[in-house]
Structure 1
Amino acid sequence: MFNIHDIDRLIDKVIMLEGDFSDHPADRGGPTRWGVTEAVARAHGYTGDMRHFPRAQAAVIYKRKYWHRPGFDQIARYAPDIAAELFDTGINMGTGTASGFLQRALNALNRNGGDFPDIAVDRVIGAKTVTALDAFLRKRGRQGETVLLKAIEALQGARYIKLAENRPANEAFLYGWLANRIG
């Protein structure tokens, strides 16, 4: 069972992985600290220099914007490992992309609607997505969560490669994305 301290551990892991201040010339996000871009920090009321962006404020943003708002906390009730992956993917690719990966994978794994009906790939976690996840896990059990996680990570990996193919500057990040974000 996922508890409140689990999200804190996920946030700590992301912050440790993302590191302190960065302003890589190939990163379209510009200056970041703790993995939070300047634009996101500003949208959440931070007005100072990103070199001094507080870690505690980053944690609040991660919890609010990348956990509760997209509904990944709802997913954690059924599949904690999936929720953790969606959280991490949402930080790097956007929560809509992460949610869409889950929806696409569920649709592809429902055996042509035999286990549960297809759901709209609307990139929003709602009641139908949660119901489909619950039906999938009831049908497939614990191993189902592992397989679903692999499907989501396959979609994520394919997207990272496409990002590097479409924008050569992203090749500077591809190795790290694959090493740290997949599996």
Structure 2
Amino acid sequence: MVASSFATALSRVLSYEGGYSDHPADPGGPTMKGIIQREYDAYRARRGLPKQSVRLISDDEMHDIYRTSYWDACRCDELPPGVDFVVFDGAVNSGPTQSLKWLQRALKVPVDGDIGPVTIEAANACQDKAALIDDICDRRIAMLRSLKTFPVFGKGWLSRVADVRIRGKALAQGAAAPPPPPAKPADEMAKAKISDTSALAALKTPEGIAAAIPVATAAVNAAANPGPMAWALAVVIVIAAAVAGYYFLKLRRAG
């Protein structure tokens, strides 16, 4: 909400992101200070510049990407202190759309992952910013725990969200935020995307259970009416239900 908010928020985010990493389990691939290679390629292409390794990203390029693709994309300058930082960090780690969905669900406004006047007004009208930040962080943690990469990166993610929660609430209350925790190796901090939700986590949701019902029905029918056609039909139903349920979960349960 003030001119210095972006600079101080970015400084904190960079303390989480570390330097260069290319962990085989990280869906983001090669990453430098939180900027992935694909994103950097697209950024340079829009400016008519040749591709180069993200390891060579300049500070000006890095600041521009963070400002336009994350801070401005989430309209953080229009959000309350503390909430702006929490939304910004969530956007960096899991994408602006996902971070805005957490905010919208916490505010109980229509959820579309795109910020507009309704979301901004509700955020500023919220009387308990600390509770709002807790709700956003709790939703973020729930998604992180559902990811198939959680066993690899979960410890780093949870540590990050814990610090984001503390700092966000301190800013919301006008208090001095504690210093950031010691920087972690870059390969301990991966991108956390809803597209990496594990199949087991999907099956534990109401949508997953609903998708499993026709699977069970098909199996029962095949057992009651044995034969090649019955079993072939059962297999088709199982595959279709599994695929539909999994992708429905990604679209509807994102945060």
Per-residue CA deviations over 1:118-140 (Å, capped at 9, x if unaligned) read x311111101111222332xxx2
What is the CA-CA distance between 1:104 and the residue it aligns to? 0.6
TM-score, normalised via structure 1 length: 0.81
Select which of 134, 150, 156 maps to 2:140: 156
For residues 179 and 70 of structure 1, what CA distance do their matches in structure 2 show? 23
**Cα RMSD for the two superposed structures:** 1.4
Distance 1:16 1:135, change over 3 A: closer
Tell me which residue corresponds to 1:128.
118
The TM-score with structure 2 as length reference comes to 0.59
1:49: which partner in 2?
53
**Structure possessing the higher radius of gyration over alpha carbons:** 2
Q: CA deviation at 1:19?
A: 1.2
Q: Separation in 2 of the partners of 1:98 and 1:90?
A: 5
Query: Which residue matches 1:180?
Result: 160
Q: CA deviation at 1:28?
A: 1.2
Tell me what 1:97 maps to.
Answer: 98
Letter of the 1:175 counterpart: K
Q: Which amino acid aligns with 1:156?
A: R
2:63 to 47, 52, 59: 59
Calculate percent identity across the aligned residue pairs.
29
* Distance in 1 (alpha carbons) for counterparts of 2:94 and 2:110: 20
Partner residue in 1 for 2:84:
83
Matched length: 158
Residue by residue over 1:72-94, the C-alpha shift from the partner in whole angstroms, topping out at 9 and shown as x without a partner, is: 2211xxx1101100000001111
The Cα of 1:16 is off from its aligned counterpart by 2.5
CA contact (8 A) 1:34 1:55 kept: no
Q: Which runs of 5+ in 1 are unaligned?
A: 108-118
- The answer to which structure, 1 or 2, has the higher relative contact order (CA under 8 A, 6+ apart) is 2
Alpha-carbon distance in 2 for matches of 1:174, 1:55: 28
Q: Deviations over 1:36-88 (max 9, x none)?
A: 0001111111621122222331111001110112222211xxx1101100000
Q: Of the candidates 122, 147, 166, which is equivalent to residue 131 of structure 2?
A: 147
| Corresponding residue of 1:5 | 4
**CA distance in structure 2 between the aligned counterparts of 1:12 and 1:64, rounded to whole angstroms:** 16
